[in-house]
Amino acid sequence: MSSLDGARRAGRLVSRVLMAGVMLAVVAACGSGDPTRADRQAGASVPPPAVATPTAYPLTIDNCGRKVTFDAPPKRVVLLNGTSVAEVESFLALGIQDHILANSQSYEVSDDPSFVDRIKAVPRANLKLNENFEVPREQVLALKPDLVVSTWAGGFDDKVGSVTRDQLDAAGIKSFVTPSNCANGDLNARPEDKERYEKQSVESSYELLLSLGEIFDVQQRAADYVNKARADIAAIQQEAAGRERKHVLVVYPGMSMMNNNGLPAVFAGGIFDDIVDRAGGVNAFAGKTNTQLAEINAEALASARVDVLVVGLFQPGEKADVLAEDLFAKFPYWQASKSKTFTSVSDSFYLGPLNTVAIRKIADAAR
């Protein structure tokens, strides 16, 4: 993700992404060595409540080591990255979609069904994505935006046909990368940005919302949204407190091109582990890197402890119950297969404003 972190850019998703949103790597313990939920919570810092004050312009922010100054809220925003929805959904959640001049992001299923139509209603300005699912440089510059937003640092790389941040600066156009993805696609990223990327969590989704709230002077909306989401998640965690932590496998069958053995894409690490943890479970492949996840074979899946199956939906028409039954038939020794325990998620499992939905669904399935 998020971000979360789509699979249309599957060849590159293995190394850099979500949706989306979405496939992050983090070094973490897994298996029997995984600490208990109580142990993790005892050592975790609880963020203070988000507070809101009116934005004072000119506003200068640090974004991936660049100083970006806004004299007023941007009014002509271009959203890059056709395989993400974290940013467009965050704009919608904050009610600032009228600032979008052109959006290239789409994902035609959502855990908030209203988002599908709401995203379609955002202007696209006849954008045509290139083979890398990015908006070509010439199209961006021709639109004369005042801000261009990318879900990852690599979205401003001329190697994928995109406009660079230096080229935008030269044209007097501001640029912004989702903060937790500053090291995603940038080999020269600062150490602090690499650490932020490796440790992506649900809080990374809130960091994006709060950053946009400051830039667009809607800080109260952002703070209210984040505080409510944190409270809702805390309530879910309280419900799960004391229960046995079940092992949860999250797979996206529609993204099988991400697995070198043609199996459903397994999501683990970073924000994905955090979502499962907050739901009171433990990711069956917690802490695995993208490279390791891409090499998972049928034997590894069959031998995994799976108490709860989470089916990720990527394309319209996919039916969670059909996909779950297929996996249960192929892996009958999972406890989930014996008990027929599953749920489904789509965009709420990636970086973005809907993480609470995924946590709720997984927590309910893990009861």
User: What residues have CB less than 8 Å from 321, skipping those under 6 apart?
Assistant: none
**CA dihedral (168, 127, 213, 176) positive or negative:** negative
The whole-number pLDDT of residue 82 equals 80
Domain at 59-226, CATH homologous superfamily: Nitrogenase molybdenum iron protein domain (3.40.50.1980)
Note if the bond before 58 is cis, omega within 30 degrees: yes
CB 281 within 8 A of CB 246: yes
Tokens of 326: 């297929």
- 242-366 is classed CATH 3.40.50.2000: no
Per the document, the length of the chain is 367
Q: Cα(48)–Cα(85) distance, rounded to whole angstroms?
A: 27
Q: What is the domain partition of the chain in residue ranges? A: 59-226, 242-366
Q: Cα(82)–Cα(105) distance, rounded to whole angstroms?
A: 4
Q: Cα(233)–Cα(158) distance, rounded to whole angstroms?
A: 40
Q: Check residue 121 and report its DSSP letter.
A: T
Tokens of 285: 């492949």
The whole-number pLDDT of residue 45 equals 60
Q: Cα(56)–Cα(307) distance, rounded to whole angstroms?
A: 50
**pLDDT tens digit at each of 367 positions of the chain:** 333 333 334 433 333 333 333 333 222 222 223 333 433 443 346 789 999 999 999 999 999 999 999 999 999 999 999 889 999 999 999 999 999 999 999 988 999 989 999 999 999 999 999 998 899 999 999 999 999 999 999 999 999 999 999 999 999 999 999 999 999 999 999 999 999 999 999 999 999 999 999 999 999 999 999 999 999 999 999 999 999 999 999 999 999 999 999 999 999 999 999 999 999 999 999 999 999 999 999 999 999 999 999 999 999 999 999 999 999 999 999 999 999 999 999 999 999 999 999 999 999 999 9
